Each structure stands twice: as C-alpha cells, then as structure tokens.
Amino acid sequence: MSAFPSLRSSFSDVCFRRLAFALLAITGLFAEITPVSAQPIWAEEFNTGTAPNPAVWGYDLGAGGWGNAELQSYTSDAANVRVEGGNLIITAREQLLKGGRRSFTSARLKTQDKFTFKYGTIEARIMTPNVANGLWPAFWTLGNNFSTVGWPACGEIDVLEMGSAGAIAAGVANRRVGSTAHWEYNGSHAQYGLTYDAPSNLNGTWHTYRMEWTPTMISTYIDNTWIWSIDISNPAGFDGEEFHAPHFLLLNLAVGGTFTGITLSSGITAPLPAEMRVDYVRIYDNGYTVLGGSSIGGGAATQTHVDSIVPGITGGGPNKKATATIVIRNESGGAVAGATVSATFSGSHNQTVSGTTDANGTAVLTTTTTSNAPAFTVCVNNVAHATLTYNPAANVESCDTY
C-alpha cells in the first residue's frame, strides 16, 4: 500500500514471470507449502455483530493523502465499514460539495498491537469492486514496530493490490493483482514486487488471496496461482530484518493516489459507492508461526527481546553525542516497561550506556563522549527485568549502525 510502484525489470512482465517461475521451479522453491495445522490457529469470520470486533480491529482515521496522495478521508462510520451477512464490507463513497467539488470517504482497518503474527500461512477470501478507474483495494501487513521506527524500517508486505496506473494503461485494471515487499536498506527505501494478470476480470466475484511466510521465503497466490516470491533467508545480506519480526494486518479501499496515477478527484471514474467485501481472514501454523497482541492472551509473558534500534545524534559542532532509541517487547508483542537496557557504542563514540524503558517499552541511551564526525555502531549487551528473562535469540536486531 506504499506510495512507491513495484520494481520492474527490463524484461516484459510476461517474460519476467516466466523466468522467475523457472528459477523457482529449479530451486524447488515454487512447491506449495502445506500448512502444518489442518485448521486455522486464528480466524476472523465476520459472522457476528454489525461492526468489526474492537478487540481485534482498529482504524486509521482522517485524510491528508496518507503519504500516497490518496483522495479519501478514512472513517469508522457504519456507512464506510460494517459487518453484514458474514462479510466485512468496506464502502468507498462520494459526496458532492458546494461548487460541484467531489469528496470521498472510505475505511482502513488494522490489527496493530491487538493481533500480530510472525510467519505462517495467511489467507483471505475477498471480493473486489470495479476499480476502473481510481480505486485501490489492498490486503497487506506492516511491522508492528511501525509506531516507533516508522516506514519503511518497519517493513511492509502487500499481499493484494489492484488498480495500479500500469494496469489502467494496459486496460487490465480489474484483472491485474500485485504483491510487493518494502523495507529499509542502508537508510533508504527498497522494494521488490511482481504482478499477475488473471484471464478474466476479478471484480464482483470471490477469490482467495494467500501468503506463505517462512524464515526463508515469502510467496503470494491468488486461487492457488503463484503471484510473487522473495527470498528472505539471509536478512543481513539485504537489510531485511523487518521480515523476521511480528506484523499486523491491514484491509482498506483507497480512492486515487500515486499508485493509481490519479491524484485529482476529476480523474475518478470508478462506479461509486463501491464495496470491498471480505468473507474471512485465516492464519494457519506452518511450523514457525508465532501469534501475539492484546487479543491473543495465552498467559503471562516470560521473555523480552529487542524489537528495534534507531541510532542517532544529539548536539552540534564538535560536541555531537551518539544516541540509540531501543524498543523492548515481550513474546506477545507487548511493550516492556521498567527494563534496564545496556548497549555498547563503538567507532566514533566508545562507551557502554544503560537506560530504563518507559511505558512504551522505549529506552533512549545517550553517550557522554562526543565527536565531530559521528560514525558508530551500537549493540545491545543485555536487557534486565525483574520478572522477565532476556531472550537475545528472539531479537529483531541486536546492533545497528549510524
């Protein structure tokens, strides 16, 4: 759901997909992964109530473009989001204002902090609306540390996106589905994605979108047809630690935006109101799956780990001090307050510093040593807590470099 388009190779889409298919088949990576559990270990069936379960789902609210020049304002109103007939229904609507100006509303749901998962088979049965032209439905994930590290450092996995500018130009807006990963690489944004053109329009009919996520590979499918894969087996090699950390789910229907190539209301020609329907979202254990969040429960937490490290500097001139904002969480993804974090700075600043996490699980460590030309690495040595045990093997990252 990023503002950035998927990467393209110099091949045509068709040639690139054939090459990728062949390489995956040769390496054995194309083989479909069978979930370990026959039944889902978590499911949202949308069979009760008239609104999404507030223990699981929250909302992004408001306008402002959402970093993508989107035209809608997101609400939690029943006019834009409801549960009915066993479906979650997200409705994009139009309102004419004075002078004939067009205004749009829709909804964006998320499970941030309430339900998280790391690895697994994630499946959703979705009916998309007619997206031609200007609608942008999406089923995607963000790293649950989004609030502390921001985007793209949190990582993003787009399982389903439709309505792209490229699809509009090719006349396949309702046939083309794309999947993309976004992450932070050496302080900037990196991405990799592919698209699949279905033989007929997808809108108005049910289709199953699935992601297989293991410690070595992420792959996506539509109705068991492969869309895209990314090798994540060596996160240090591509700065991809984001894909070995808990993520949360998002479902939304945007109007316009840079992804669609339409950033003026006059360019929206898709029929409105438009409904994106979700029959269910299910997660199966593939042997690696870890669930978390406030809706999961499952007993008291016993362990801590480092969720993120953000190095920085404070001060000016020759007296720049090194800093590190370090977030500590438990195995369910909850913030850990009152933990003593010890970390060592090396390079331009050589010092070991300790600090205590606040209610958000955040400790900000600052050196007393200074430098005119900061260039340092900071590594966490230990996390001490009165009742929880530090598990460094669960760290999302243990060191980071400024």
Query: Which parts of the chain have pLDDT scores under 70?
Result: 2-38, 297-300
pLDDT at 94: 96
Considering the candidates 161, 212, 242, 331, report the single residue annotated as catalytic.
161
Domains of the chain: 13-292 (2.60.120.200), 303-401 (2.60.40)
Q: What is the pLDDT of residues 58-83, one digit of tens each?
A: 999 999 998 999 999 999 999 999 99
Note if 32 is an active site residue: no
Residues 110, 293, 230, 258, Cα dihedral to 10°: 20
212 in catalytic set: no
Q: What is the pLDDT of residue 296?
A: 83
Residue 15: its pLDDT value, please? 42
Give the three-state DSSP class for 262. Answer: strand
CA separation for the pair 292, 116 (Å, rounded): 5
Residues in the chain: 402
Tokens of 106: 């829709």
Give the per-residue pLDDT at 26: 36
Instruction: Dump the DSSP string for 96-107.
Output: E-GGG-EEEEE-
pLDDT digits 0-9 by tens, 318-338:
899 999 999 998 877 778 889
Marked catalytic residue, from 70, 94, 156, 241: 156
Q: How many degrees, rounded to 5, is the angle at CA 278 between CA 277 and CA 279?
A: 120
Give the pLDDT confidence score for residue 313 in this predicted structure.
94
